[in-house]
Amino acid sequence: MKFFKNITKAIIILIFLCIFGFSAIYLYAKMLPKLSISGNGSYTLYDNQENIFFQGNGTSKWVSINDISNYVKVATVTIEDKNFYNHHGFDFLRIMKAMYTNLTSRSYKEGASTITQQFAKNLYLDFDKTWERKLNELWYTIQIETHYSKDDILEGYLNCINYGHAMYGIENASEFYFNKKANELSLAEAAMLVGIPKSPSNYSPLINPDIAKKRQLYILKIMYDEGVITKDEYNKAKVEKLEYHGKKDGLNLDTLLYYQDAVMDELKSLGNVIETHLQNGGIRIYTTLDVKAQTVLEESIKSNITDNNEIQASGIMINPTNGSVIALAGGRDFNKSQYNRALSSKRQVGSIMKPFLYYNALENGFTASTSFLSQETTFTLNANNIYTPKNYNNVYANKAISMASAIAFSDNIYAIKTHLFLGSENLIDTAKRVGIKTKLDPIASLPLGTVELNHLEITNAYATLASEGVKHEPYFIEKVTDNAGNVLYQHSDSSEVVLNKSITFILNDLLKGTYDYNMVDYTYPTNISISSLLKHDYAIKSGSTDTDNWIIGFNKNIVTSIWIGYDDNKKMTTSDFKYSKKIWANVMEAYLADKDVNWYEIPSNVVGVIVDPITGNLATNESKSKKILYYIKGTEPSYTQEVFDEYEEKNKLEN
């Protein structure tokens, strides 16, 4: 009996201490300066022309609580926090119930955040998920509760939550979904909007109308059961037919949030100074976004993929002169899938790895005319290891072909012979120099792209080729200021010359052969299908595996890369390979339509020679094809000096 008395006494003391402790905390918070809730946590994003394309937390259209439909207010409180007007920021009974439910189910099924807690969290960027961050949010909750009325808090909450499609705040959402002000919403419309924030990508009526309708009916039923609407209101709202507007002022791009995603990722890396200013009044972020580039990238993806809802695409556009990322699509539609494939995924890159091999070859004495025999080959790597790569569709020249041909046809046999001739470590060294940070293993198949790389990583490596050997780190943010215009961060260029300009010129010119009809011989250049779409000169390389399809191409102005594939690594069908090249061609030509575009200037130590591009020998009157190829002076073919030819060397040895 004494034991139970002691337990009861301890519980009473604990409760008293908790009450005293919370009272002291609330009293201390009351004594602190009033925390601003109408501007904190706001961030404004500008494109590269300093035009606003996003304002975070809805501060661009903050509306008074009196200018919001009463149906929205009642529905929000009923579904999100029915004890909102009775607690002081924390609903302890709801917390205990949620803890019990989650413990018994051994999963996180039920949350217990109040409207004030959610508002406190939404006021600030979630830079990390540490316990320190969570404690800060709890402290903000207490400060907000001690300084503001419930209506002030509800007003703030409704002005900053995400209603999907980048619509932050109830006024923005009302105008986007229904083309009306927040105070004009009907009960049915209000219930539909209030249902969205729980999962904007799932409950948007523009994406999943059936699921959104079920959510709306659920909210209406709860409101009726709680007695906040009448039976007549409930019945009328259930059957009211809603007409959706689905348009917003400014940019209507379904991929823009992928770019914004990348900006916020970079912002997180800039340190506590940015976060501090964000908390104390908001910031302005000046990005590298080119609206025209983002628009043509999205439109090209949408217009070319119309017959397959499952396949995914990502694309990146980089200015090679400084590394600025001017457009990025991490998927086909952010509203349907928030996974940013351009930033987060790693995929097999296939033959787009080969240009770095051929740069290394040119650096080590190879020329555009260097020839190897292209035929089905089994390589003995060591006593217990053989390797038999295949050409696409098992097409082989069965004769000696030049490096120019190997690049145009993406010949795998030539690539492996070059790789093994030079040594596996050489390709790894070149890849590191151009900015590939993923660890690469010295394996025979490396030039065929069996390695998995990140989309931004491989695109920036190509940007090093496009910039004639100057490596830049890719970036999205030019500068960050506070709302008074004081600069908090300014991007600084950390460029580095990592490749020889003359060799890079030769390689870039060879990559033009992938769509050149002069290269047609026993097979076709890999990108000949888009030749008629191209009005400018480009260096292009495509690559494919069973699960991934790539194309990356560039000139002095822009680097664009496109990836196509399935998120679950499903094998691609023959028809799936049609998308990437047309998307890429459409993007490049649309973006460059009104720009001055020039090819690279020929370096002074480089000479052009008319050759037979298939054999690499000097052209004669009998040559089937003729093309100017480029060489470092002194290495060009002549009638008296033979180029290295594996087939000829083999015959000499046998004779």
Domain of residue 325: give its range. 297-598
| Options 351, 371, 405, 410, the catalytic residue | 351
Whether residue 109 is predicted with pLDDT greater than 80 in this model: the reply is no
Per-residue model confidence (pLDDT) at position 619: 92
Per-residue model confidence (pLDDT) at position 357: 97
User: Mean per-residue pLDDT for 1-12?
Assistant: 60
Confirm whether 36 is a catalytic residue.
Answer: no
Domain co-membership, 240 together with 345: no
SS3 110: coil
Residues 170/190, Cβ–Cβ less than 8 Å? no
Whether residue 69 is predicted with pLDDT greater than 80 in this model: the reply is yes
CB-based burial label for 340 (10 Å; 0-12, 13-18, 19+) = buried
Domain assignment present for residue 448? The answer is yes
User: Mean per-residue pLDDT for 133-157?
Assistant: 77
Domain assignment present for residue 56? The answer is yes
Tell whether pTM > 0.85.
Answer: no
Domain assignment present for residue 612? The answer is no
Domain assignment present for residue 277? The answer is no
Per-residue model confidence (pLDDT) at position 282: 75
**Cα separation, 475 vs 495, whole angstroms:** 12
Q: Which H helix or E strand runs over 138?
A: helix 131-147
From 468-472, 514-518, 573-577, 638-642, the region with the lowest mean pLDDT = 638-642
**Cα separation, 566 vs 300, whole angstroms:** 19
Domain co-membership, 38 together with 110: yes
For residue 317, which of 338, 305, 337, 300 has the smallest C-alpha distance? 300
Whether residue 561 is predicted with pLDDT greater than 90 in this model: the reply is yes
Most confident of 110-124, 253-267, 464-478: 464-478
Count of the separate structural domains present in the chain: 2
From 18-22, 131-135, 586-590, the region with the lowest mean pLDDT = 18-22
Whether residue 542 is predicted with pLDDT greater than 70 in this model: the reply is yes
SS3 373: strand
**Cα separation, 393 vs 523, whole angstroms:** 11
Per-residue model confidence (pLDDT) at position 654: 43
Per-residue model confidence (pLDDT) at position 59: 43
Per-residue model confidence (pLDDT) at position 85: 85
Sequence letter at residue 169: G
pLDDT tier, 652 (very low <50, low <70, confident <90, very high otherwise): very low
**Cα separation, 34 vs 415, whole angstroms:** 67
Structure tokens at 446: 């490396």
Residues 329/260, Cβ–Cβ less than 8 Å? no
Confirm whether 478 is a catalytic residue.
Answer: no
Higher per-residue pLDDT: 493 or 538: 538
Domain assignment present for residue 377? The answer is yes
For residue 45, which of 327, 270, 289 has the smallest C-alpha distance? 289
| 475: DSSP letter | B
- Averaged pLDDT score across all residues of the chain: 86
Per-residue model confidence (pLDDT) at position 475: 97
pLDDT tier, 97 (very low <50, low <70, confident <90, very high otherwise): low
CA angle 362, 367, 371 (to 5 degrees): 120
From 565-574, 610-619, 632-641, the region with the lowest mean pLDDT = 632-641
Domain co-membership, 241 together with 311: no
Q: What is the CATH number of the domain that holds 248?
A: 1.10.3810.10
Per-residue model confidence (pLDDT) at position 24: 61
Buried-exposed string 123-148: b where 16+ CB fall within 10 A, e elsewhere: bbbebeeeeeeeeebeebbbbbbbbb
Domain co-membership, 303 together with 248: no
| Options 42, 80, 467, 561, the catalytic residue | 80
Q: What is the CATH number of the domain that holds 464?
A: 3.40.710.10
Per-residue model confidence (pLDDT) at position 27: 59
Residues 433/374, Cβ–Cβ less than 8 Å? no
From 87-91, 280-284, 620-624, the region with the lowest mean pLDDT = 87-91
pLDDT tier, 29 (very low <50, low <70, confident <90, very high otherwise): low
Q: Which residues have a Cβ under 8 Å from the Cβ of 121 and sit 6 or more positions away? A: 113, 137
Q: Please measure the distance between the N-terminal and C-terminal CA atoms of the chain and give it in whole angstroms.
A: 109
Domain co-membership, 326 together with 228: no
User: Mean per-residue pLDDT for 592-613?
Assistant: 95
Per-residue model confidence (pLDDT) at position 263: 94
Domain assignment present for residue 43? The answer is yes
SS3 288: coil
**Cα separation, 149 vs 460, whole angstroms:** 51
Domain assignment present for residue 461? The answer is yes
Per-residue model confidence (pLDDT) at position 153: 86
Domain co-membership, 307 together with 370: yes
| 434: DSSP letter | T
**Cα separation, 255 vs 315, whole angstroms:** 10
pLDDT tier, 254 (very low <50, low <70, confident <90, very high otherwise): confident
Domain co-membership, 196 together with 320: no
Domain assignment present for residue 288? The answer is no
Higher per-residue pLDDT: 66 or 35: 66
Per-residue model confidence (pLDDT) at position 221: 94
Q: Which H helix or E strand runs over 465?
A: helix 455-466
Per-residue model confidence (pLDDT) at position 346: 95
